[in-house]
Structure 1
Amino acid sequence: MSPRIASQKRGEWLELTPGKLTPPENGDRLTAALIWLKDVLGAPPKLLQSLESDGGIKLAGDRLRLRLFPPKKSQYEPYNQDLTILYEDDFCLVVHKPAGIKVHPDGMERQPSLANIVSALYSVRNEVVAPAHIHRLDEYTSGPVLYAKNDYAQLKLDEAMARKEIGRSYVAFVQGVVDSKLQVIDQPIGKDRHHNQRRRISHTGKHAVTRVEVLEIYPSASLVRLTLETGRTHQIRVHMSHVGHPLVGDSIYGGSTALIPHQALHGEKLSFRHPISGEMIDVVDPWPSAMTILHEQLQG
C-alpha cells in the first residue's frame, strides 16, 4: 500500500481512505473498490471474493472498510509460559522460540509447543485471535517465528514465503575451520530412507541453497552466518555436514555434544514486507544464553 493511504483498525474492521474511486464503465462504487483493493492494495482475490459474499466490504464517503478481524478461536490449548515478543501489530506477530520447544504439536511432544504458549498470550488478553505460523524452526533451533494474526495476513505472508521473499539468517557454531572460499552450498535434499529423523543429499531431492559467511575461526571450530534461499527440512544441518563441518552439538549429523547437547544454531534475523503497508520489517533476535556461553568457551 502507498504510505499516503491511511488505515486504522476499528473493532473487527480495517478502515482505509483510498480517496475518490471512479467506477468503471457499467460498474458501481463497489466494483471500483474491488479493483482498487486488488490492483493498489494487493489484496488476495480469494479473500476479496469471500469478503464480498459475506458483506465484509463497506463504503461510506471516502472511507472503505474491510472485515479483516473477525473473532477466531485457536485450536491449541493455552499454556502459560514466559514468551518473548519481538514484534507485534494488528496483522503480524514475531516471537522468540527457545531451543527444545516445537513450533506446533505433533503428538510426540514432551512439553507444550510454541503454539500452545502463543495461544495463552491471547487467552490472557481476552482476545479471540488464532495466529498461524508462517514458517517453522527445528525443535532444538532457537530464533524468531513469524505468525499471521488474521486470514488476510496469512494469505499475503504465505505468498511471500512461496516467492522466497521472507529473509532468514542464522548463526551457527560448526566443527572445524571453514574455508572463507565456501560461500554457497547448492545441493538437493531428500529423505533418508534408513533413518526417519534424518535428511540427506540426494540427486532426486528438492533444490536447496544455503549461503555461508565465515565470521570467526577458533582452533577446532568456526562461527558462520547462514542465509537460506530455500527452506528444506534440516537444510543448514544437512548442508554443513555434507561439506565436512557438522554443527557443534548436532549428534544426528555428526556433531560432538561435548560442549552443548543440541545443534548450536540460532535464527538471528527475520525480514519480511508488512502485508498491509508494504514496509520492510527487520526483526533481530538476540543470542540465547546457551549460544553466548558456547561462544565464550570456544574463544577461551
Structure 2
Amino acid sequence: MDSVRKGNELAITIPQKWDKCTVDDIFKEKWKTPKKMLHELRMSKNVKVDGQEIPWNLPLLTGQSLSFPAFESKLPASIIPADLEIDIIYEDDFLLIANKPSGLETHPSTAGHTNTLLNAVAYYLTQSGQQGYIKHIHRLDKDTTGAVLFAKAKLVGSMLDKMLEEREIKRTYAALVEGIIAQPQGTINEKIGRDRHHATRRRVSPGGQSAITHYKAVHTFPKENMTLITCQLESGRTHQIRVHLSHIGHPLMGDILYGGPSKFKRQALHALKIEFIHPITEEPIEVAAPFLDNPSIFPSQILEG
C-alpha cells in the first residue's frame, strides 16, 4: 500500500480494493482502531481526504489521499532514554525491531528503572531525531536474547497488538536443551500457572493458562548430551518455552531455575526470527536476529544451513 509520513501525519493513497470504502470503514473495519483513539481522531477534525475534511460516511475513490495525525512529537514522560548498547535490525516510519542482548529487561518494571531495552530504544530514537511514541509489542525474559518488535505510532501499536493476539505475528526461537530429543518434532500442549512455592517460577498446572509450544530438532550433540531445536508458540505465557521443555525432561542448557545444567551463564534461548505482514504497507516482513553471545553459545552455521 502506498503510504508516506509527512511530519506527524500519515498519508495513505486509497488502493483499488478500498474503492467505495468510507473513512469510517477504514478506521473501524480495516484497522480495528480502538474506540478512544477513534473518538480522538474524530474530535481533532484533522482527518482529511485530498486535503479537505469530509463526512466519515462518504465513499472514497481509488487514488484519493487519506491523511490524519498518526505520530507523536515527543516521547512519553515516563520513558527515560538510556545510552545502552543495542542493535536495531529493522526500522521504518511505523515500527522497529531491536536485537535484545542478555541482561536487559524488555521494559521498566518500576518507576525510574532505566536499564531496559525500551529505554535503550528511546535513546536510539532521540539520537536519530525521532522524538515520538514507542511501545514494545511483546517481551523476552531478561537473559533471553533476540528480536523484539516495537511500534512507533499508537495506531500501529494497536494493530500489532491485535495481530499478536490473533497469531498473525510468527516468532521462531532457537534453543539448546539438555539430552537427545527422541522425536524430531512435536507439540507441547500444557497449561502454565504460577508456582506458589517460588515467586518467579512458573509450572505446568491444570488450573493455569493454555499454552502451546511447537518444537523441531535441528541437530544433536551426543558428546555434550544436548539438542539444538527451534520453537514456535501459539501463546505467549511467561517462561513458556522454559517451562514446557523442562516439563518434558529437556530443560534449556544454562537454565538453572528450571533444572537445566549450568553449562552457560544464561539459558540458551534466542528469539531468532520474526515474520508478519506490515500493518500499514501490507508488505511481508521477515527479520532474523544475529546471535549476540561472545563467544557464541549457539552453532550459527547449523541454523544458517
Q: Structure 2 length normalisation: TM-score? A: 0.86
For residues 254-274 of structure 1, the C-alpha deviation after alignment (integer angstroms, 9 at most, x for no partner) is 0111x2111000010011221
Per the TM alignment, residue 64 of structure 1 is displaced from its structure 2 partner at its CA by: 2.0
Which whole-Å CA distance do the structure 1 matches of 2:187 and 2:232 have between them?
Answer: 9
Contact 1:260–1:294 (Cα < 8 Å) also in 2? no
**Which residue type is aligned with residue 267 of structure 1?**
A
**Which residue type is aligned with residue 289 of structure 1?**
D
Q: Does 1:127 align with 2:116?
A: no
For residues 107-151 of structure 1, the C-alpha deviation after alignment (integer angstroms, 9 at most, x for no partner) is 499971111111111221232213100000000000110001011
Which whole-Å CA distance do the structure 1 matches of 2:147 and 2:257 have between them?
Answer: 23
Which whole-Å CA distance do the structure 2 matches of 1:70 and 1:198 have between them?
Answer: 38
For residues 246-297 of structure 1, the C-alpha deviation after alignment (integer angstroms, 9 at most, x for no partner) is 000000000111x21110000100112211122221111112235734549x
For residues 70-108 of structure 1, the C-alpha deviation after alignment (integer angstroms, 9 at most, x for no partner) is 313232211112221111111111000001110112249
Which whole-Å CA distance do the structure 2 matches of 1:109 and 1:249 have between them?
Answer: 30
Which among 10, 13, 16 is matched to residue 6 of structure 2? 10
- Would the alpha carbon gap of residues 14 and 175 (structure 1) be closer, same or farther in structure 2, given more than 3 Å must change? same
Which among 133, 140, 143 is matched to residue 140 of structure 1? 143
Q: Does 1:235 align with 2:233?
A: no
**Which residue type is aligned with residue 287 of structure 2?**
V
Q: Does 1:35 align with 2:21?
A: no
SS at 2:70 equivalent: coil
Per the TM alignment, residue 191 of structure 1 is displaced from its structure 2 partner at its CA by: 0.3
Contact 1:264–1:291 (Cα < 8 Å) also in 2? no
Which whole-Å CA distance do the structure 2 matches of 1:293 and 1:141 have between them?
Answer: 12
The residue correspondences of 1:15-164 to structure 2 (distance < 5 A) are: 15-18=11-14, 32-39=22-29, 41-44=30-33, 46=35, 47-60=37-50, 62-74=64-76, 75-107=78-110, 112-164=115-167
Identity of aligned residues (%): 36
- Would the alpha carbon gap of residues 116 and 294 (structure 1) be closer, same or farther in structure 2, given more than 3 Å must change? same
Q: Unmatched 5+ residue regions in structure 2? A: 52-63, 301-305
Contact 2:10–2:69 (Cα < 8 Å) also in 1? yes
Which whole-Å CA distance do the structure 1 matches of 2:258 and 2:112 have between them?
Answer: 22
Contact 1:102–1:109 (Cα < 8 Å) also in 2? no
Q: Structure 1 length normalisation: TM-score? A: 0.87
The residue correspondences of 1:261-280 to structure 2 (distance < 5 A) are: 261-280=265-284
**Which residue type is aligned with residue 69 of structure 1?**
F
Q: Alpha carbon RMSD of aligned pairs, Å?
A: 2.4
Per the TM alignment, residue 14 of structure 1 is displaced from its structure 2 partner at its CA by: 1.1
